[in-house]
Amino acid sequence: MPELVSRLSAITPLLPGDIIFTGTPSGVGMGRTPQRYLKPGQELVTYIDGIGTMRHTFTGGA
> What are the residue ranges of helices labelled H in 1-62?
2-11
Mean pLDDT of the 25-54 span: 89
Task: Reply yes or no: is the peptide bond before residue 34 cis, omega within 30 of 0.
Answer: yes
CA distances from 51 to 3, 15, 29, 45, 47 (A): 26, 15, 27, 13, 8
pTM of the model: 0.51
Per-residue pLDDT of 10-20, as tens digits, reads: 999 999 988 88
Mean pLDDT of the chain: 88
Query: Residue 45: what are its φ and ψ, rounded to 5°?
Result: -115, 125
Higher per-residue confidence, 59 vs 14: 14
